Structure 1
Amino acid sequence: MIYIKPSAAIRNNYNEISQLCKETGEPVYLTKNGEGDIVVMDIKAFSKRESMLKLREMLVEAEESRLRGDKSYTVEEVSDMMRKAIKED
């Protein structure tokens, strides 16, 4: 569901908007003069969204690397490299 409120709502009803963000995990879109202005959201939902975006970027980067034919490693090769690195310390 999309939540849209006038920008004055943040001033007049901060607690209500904060609670709505926390309960739903969804952003609240604030308008100014009938146009989209800003978005507010719960910090936990924001952090989760940021983590998901970073993971998605990493997956896209890995897929692009694979498609370019860059060198890749099997799980066994990575395990061997890690064991060797640990022994060197």
Structure 2
Amino acid sequence: MPLIKPITDLRNTNEISELCHAKNEPIFITKNGYGDLVVMSIETYEAMLDENEIDREIAQAEAESCVDGKLIDAREALSSLRIKHFG
């Protein structure tokens, strides 16, 4: 469940920092009852960047494994590679 805090809680920066590091997830900050900011530790941010990079690479690999929107059969792909590279 996401952690939601009012913007006034940002006055206590040590508490917010400790929460960010303890929870390893973003903390949502509200202003006048509406979402305003997201605060997180650097470690959480970098992990999210790494996860997004992995997701992009998986999507690219999936796109490359399709011909006309259909997945290539693994046995056929390996067979064609063997023929291409080993004669």
TM-score higher than 0.5:
yes
- Is 1:47 aligned with 2:58? no
Q: State the secondary structure of the residue aligned to 1:29.
A: strand
Instruction: Note the C-alpha offset of 1:3.
Output: 0.7
String of CA shifts for 1:32-59, please: whole Å, max 9, x gaps: 1100001000100110111011111011
Specify every segment of 5 or more residues in structure 2 that has no aligned partner in the other structure, as ranges: 69-76, 82-87
Relative to the length of structure 2, the TM-score reads 0.74
- Equivalences for residues 1-89 of structure 1 within 5 A: 1-10=1-10, 12-68=11-67
Structure with higher strand content: 2
- C-alpha separation in 2, matches of 1:68 and 1:52: 27
The offset of 1:9, in angstroms, is 1.2
The number of equivalent residue pairs is 71
Q: TM-score, normalised by structure 1?
A: 0.72
Q: How far 1:68 sits from its partner (Å)?
A: 2.9
Q: Residues of 1 paired with 2:34 and 2:25: CA distance?
A: 19
Q: 1: CA distance between counterparts of 2:67 and 2:39? A: 39
- 1:21 and 1:4 mapped to 2: Cα distance? 12
Looking at structure 2, the residues matched to 58 and 21 of structure 1 have their Cα atoms a distance apart, in angstroms, of 28
Q: Which runs of 4+ in 1 moved over 4 A?
A: none
